[in-house]
Amino acid sequence: EDPIKLAEFEARIARGEKIEPNDWMPALYRKQLIRMIEQHAHSEIIGALPEGTWITRAPGFKRKLALMAKVQDEVGHAQLLYSAAETLGKPREKMIDDLLSGKSKYSNIFNYPTFTWADSCFISWLVDAGAIVNQLANSKGSYGPYCRALERICAEESFHLKYGHHCVIHMATGTPRQRKMMQEALNRWWGPMMHFFGPPDKASVHTEILVKWKVKMATNDECRQQFLDMYVPKIWELGLNIPDPNLKKNPETGEWEYTEPDWEEFKRVINGDGPCNAERLAVRRVAEERGAWVRKALLKPEAAYTTPLA
């Protein structure tokens, strides 16, 4: 790497300037951004699946409409993010191939089943809340296209958050059966939610360089702490129990103390061996195959006329 160019690049970042696609950047900055934005895009598109299956079963017309709009937004976020990643030189088709082959990761949390409506409510409120904590921080980062995508995503996510909170309030203040469903969903999702922010800082491989280059504007532990600070009181307010007897805010440090979630489980899940990994990728594979004729028609319309749609 040219040391003068690197010094100029780092000085621009230190001044808070945005790096744009045609600007000089170190190869590692490009590689790291592609990795992170691509994984983020995959998370949005796979994240549409656990909630998407609830659209037809959501209780009542208004919930169905709102959930449909939310899921549609998530897929739109994937579009924005794939476009942002493409500005760094990796074609979208290659990103999709890497998702389907298991080469590229996506968020751990979408590899768990949504057994009941309450699981869908948990995602809409608390997974979206966690995502906003991370995305709001990183929208102030150094790579222009990613930051602009994140700003737009956060604006939409804030509606999801209100919708999700409304759903959870409804369940938590409903009949004893509804409360029980909500509590059971919270019990199932708390561990994966703690994993969602990534490994503890001391075990995080990429944080140091990403913080230095202002791609990550908050570390994994900082995001986890901020999430706990903002949402634990709201969860307790609803009379729900968080399934961690050690969870408490240390009044001296102001930090939340908690039981470490099972990091071995996390590793298994992000490396393809979670409860729903195979199912999630199978659904995407079918979508890819069934959508092939659309892509073909867009690229080469005359070929599509002669190809049977089935």
Range 272-290 burial, b when 16+ CB lie within 10 A, else e: eebebbeebbebbeeeeee
Lay out the site mask for ligand BYC across 204-243 (x = CB under 6 A, - = otherwise). xxxx--x---------x-----------------------
Query: Of 122, 130, 121, nearest to 154 (Cα)?
Result: 130
Pinpoint the alpha helices (H) of 205-262.
Answer: 207-212, 220-237
State which residue, 177 or 202, has the beta carbon closest to ligand BYC.
202
Residue 44 near ligand BYC by CB under 6 A? yes
CB of 232 to ligand BYC, least distance (A): 19
State which residue, 9 or 54, has the beta carbon closest to ligand BYC.
54
User: What's the CA gap between 232 and 258, in Å, rounded?
Assistant: 12
Burial (CB count <10 Å: 0-12, 13-18, 19+), residue 232:
middle
Instruction: Find how far residue 119's CA is from the centre of its chain.
Output: 16
State which residue, 205 or 299, has the beta carbon closest to ligand BYC.
205
Residue 119 near ligand BYC by CB under 6 A? no
Type of residue found at 293:
W
Instruction: Find how far residue 205's CA is from the centre of its chain.
Output: 19
Lay out the site mask for ligand BYC across 56-85 (x = CB under 6 A, - = otherwise). ------------------x-----------
| Rg of the chain in Å (alpha carbons) | 21
Please select the residue that binds ligand BYC; options are 19, 108, 154, 228, rule is CB under 6 A: 108
Residue 129 near ligand BYC by CB under 6 A? no
List, in order, residues 6 or more apart from 142 with CB less than 8 Å away.
Answer: 13, 17, 18, 19, 213, 214, 215
Q: Contacts with ligand BYC: how many residues (CB under 6 A)?
A: 29
Residue 270 near ligand BYC by CB under 6 A? yes
Residue 142 near ligand BYC by CB under 6 A? no
Judged by the rule CB under 6 A, the positions of this chain that interact with ligand BYC are: 35-36, 39-40, 43-44, 47-48, 51, 74, 105, 107-108, 123, 127-128, 131, 134, 195-196, 198-199, 204-207, 210, 220, 270
